[in-house]
A and B are shown apart, each in its own frame.
Chain A
Amino acid sequence: METPMATDAGQYQDIQGRWTDIEKIINRGGPMADFVPDTKETPNIKNGIQNDFKILVIGAGGLGCELLKNLALSGFRNIDVIDMDTIDVSNLNRQFLFRRKDVGKSKAEVAAAFINQRVAGCKVTPYKCKIQDKDEDYYRQFKLIIAGLDSIEARRWINGLLVNLVVVDNEGNPEPDTIIPLIDGGTEGFKGQARVIIPRMSSCFECSLDAFPPQTTYAICTIANTPRVPEHCIQWALIFGLEDKNLTKPFDPKKFDNDNPQHMTWLFETAKKRAEDHNINGVTYKLTQGVAKNIIPAIASTNAIIAASCCNEAFKICTESSGYLNNYMMYNGVNGVYTYTFEYEQKEGCAVCGTNIVTYETEPTITLSTFLENISQDPRFQLKKPSLRSNGRNLYMQGLLHEATVKNLEKTFKELNVSEADEINITDPSLPGNLAIRMKIIYKKN
């Protein structure tokens, strides 16, 4: 799946004056600058941008194209890009690194090849894969990660990973070296947002999950009985049409794939028929695609504004030339232009960054009941009725699953397959919000 591309970045010599504008920033100090300015003899910052810092761009779509372009033109030369998607003809209006001949090819690969060819000295390495396919070691190498994603799921995943990579010492202070900042851009039509997440230091993506507008959904009874708009008909085809055994389908309804043109044509025809039966106009193939894939209209200029803000922050964080965004900028271009910057605060009890990982030393021969007793008496945790899960299995649960798990109390950790370095997730009504304690088990050495 992965196809890193080789370039000859090493041999490249810059034309004199190429980075004059950037040098003006990094060669001079200033009241907001928190660095020692570069000199000819010690071009440390420039070296950092051009050689040392590796930046990861997640997504090579509307935002991704802009991000790659901006980073490359700001002097960053060590860039990785991950995108699992292939180029669709409808991307070409705004994803300017792609041409008609590229339709069907990997977004990451085409975008990387374009930048490498266009910006001399820049080395973009593409990966056509899911972000979940890469391990922690891969993500550890980056100075900074910029995400231009369209899915909440992927954002949650990368956010969770980066928060987990941060090492927290016994006093609860994060180790600065293990913090990888995440700059997250997002657009939806004329609206967008750019934010800087410093894992464990500022609010994380999960902290603000509740603030996301829910996806447009319609009451199922409306869809079933009183459709009024074309979207109702398309949703009907998706929910009821697919299940209806009387409707012939050229595919297995359980394997419906909204990227398969044959499946989408069937969905469109079915929705159209439904619309005609209810005298509703406006079901088109494009709208069907939009509803089935939850596509939001993309505006090229919104992408440009948001990507520019993200790269601005990336440049400032890497060079330390000025203060960075604290920590959330929303942009609204629906009526005129409106932006607002505010500090999104860490949520107490956030399921990701509100849960501290604590290490706990014990023996493999300890029984679960003794362990429970020990942690309940430990003043660090303040537990009253703890429930414990580990490795996707229940150890001991209160409430509904009490009966099913009570027999585990007499078993030892060894019998319960709790091995060293395993994480035990503890929830307890006395912990506020979503807060859980994540306990890493270490076994005493004898």
Chain B
Amino acid sequence: MFRLKELQKKQQQAAAAAAASNTTNGTDAPATTTTAASNTTEPTEVKRQNSNDLKEIRKQKSKESYFSLKSKQSSEASSNKRANPAELRAQKDIDEMELPIGCKVHFKDSDDILNFQLDIIPSDGLYQGATFKFSINIPNTYPYDPPKVHCDTLVYHPNIDLQGHVCLNILRQDWMPVLNIGTVIFGMMTLFLEPNPEDPLNIEAAQLMMDNRKNFEANVKQSLRGGYIANRQFPKLL
């Protein structure tokens, strides 16, 4: 419970010992003892520091620890480059991701790991062989908030509407911070292998899939060949 206090005391003792040995040796105390000295001069006195002293001490210590001879300017500049936790987590996710067969990831700007494109080429099922493009954005609140996914290819699919919204449970209501970018990509692939008419976003497509599977499959094929469905032309993907 009082780990902090213990640590403080230990350091004070060490500083006191160092100060003692310094006086016997007759050498000058190093600059770090500015605080230690004030602690040891009056052992009965409660340690207290003025806010401004505290600020100076803290500044001093962080300088000493990182770079003995750094100018003020560069120390300030570098402090702004602190990696944000979302980026650090994304770095790890991307690093360790094993893409399912048929998935490709492109980074428009390879330094910006929070925004990328995903190509899905299903290796099986109704959508086999076609390429579907998605944009994925990792928000700064990641992994508290899920990645944002948008489908950039117009597709006839029960769970993807014509504006590119995607209905996948882990992208909204079932998101958990333990999931990662890889699980989202895996989920997206699953949508193409097994469309789920129970969670429809394109109602007509979902209804047809439930009512008349054969006609639905014919529609999918027609859409992938660049045909019209309900007066809407789909891009030719096969």
> Which residues of A line the B interface, CB within 8 A?
34-36, 42, 44-45, 47-48, 51-54, 78, 135-137, 140-143, 152-153, 156, 160-161, 164-165, 167-169, 173-179, 198, 201-202, 206, 209-210, 212, 214-215, 217-221, 224-225, 239-240, 243, 320, 323, 326, 351-352, 355, 359, 385, 387, 389, 391-394, 397-401, 404-405, 419-423, 425, 427-429, 434, 436, 438, 440, 442, 445
Contact = CB atoms under 8 A, between A and B. Distances in A.
B7, B52, B54, B140 — which one has the most chain A CB atoms within 10 A of its CB?
Answer: B54
B7 A392 contact: no
A320 B83 CA distance: 35
A173 B9 CA distance: 13
B62 A54 contact: no
17 contacts: A36-B44, A52-B49, A142-B51, A164-B79, A177-B49, A178-B57, A219-B167, A221-B199, A224-B201, A225-B203, A355-B88, A389-B87, A399-B95, A420-B70, A427-B88, A434-B88, A440-B66
Contacts of B1: 323, 326
Contacts of A397: 91, 94-95
A177 B35 contact: yes
B48 A47 contact: yes
A201 B177 CA distance: 24
A436 B88 contact: yes
B74 interface: yes
Given A221-B199, A323-B1, 5 more contacts: A167-B65, A178-B57, A351-B89, A359-B67, A392-B87
Nearest to B175: A214
Q: Counting chain A CB atoms within 10 Å of each CB, which of B3, B81, B111 scores highest?
A: B111
A170 to B, nearest CB: 9
A35 B44 CA distance: 9
B107 A209 contact: no
A393 B68 CA distance: 26
A436 B65 CA distance: 20
A44 B178 CA distance: 48
A398 B97 CA distance: 10
| Best-surrounded residue of B78, B89, B145 (most CB of chain A within 10 A) | B78
B190 interface: no
B96 interface: yes
B161 A389 contact: no
Nearest to A209: B144
A220 B165 contact: yes
A400 B105 contact: yes
A178 B82 contact: no
Contacts of A240: 163, 165
A427 B65 contact: no
* Leading 6 A-B pairs by shortest Cβ distance: A54-B51, A141-B55, A351-B85, A404-B110, A221-B167, A393-B111
B31 interface: no
Counting contact residues on chain B (CB < 8 A from A), the size range is 35 or more
A343 to B, nearest CB: 9
Contact of A423 (B58, B65, B81, B163): B81
Given A35-B46, A141-B51, A176-B4, A427 B91 contact: yes
A209 B177 contact: yes
Contacts of B110: 394, 401, 404-405
A401 B94 contact: yes
Contacts of A422: 78, 81
B22 interface: no
Contacts of B62: 165, 167, 178
Interface of B: 1-5, 7-8, 11, 35, 44-46, 48-52, 54-55, 57-59, 61-62, 64-67, 69-70, 74-76, 78-79, 81-85, 87-89, 91-92, 94-97, 99, 105, 107, 110-111, 113, 140-141, 143-145, 159, 161, 163, 165-167, 169, 171-173, 175-178, 199-201, 203
A444 B7 CA distance: 32
A233 B201 CA distance: 15
B184 to A, nearest CB: 14
Contacts of B52: 141
Given A178-B61, A323-B1, A427-B88, A442 B113 contact: no
A173 B4 CA distance: 11
Nearest to A38: B46
A136 B63 CA distance: 13
A78 B49 CA distance: 13
B45 A44 contact: yes
A220 B159 CA distance: 10
Nearest to B161: A224
Contacts of B159: 221
A201 B4 contact: yes
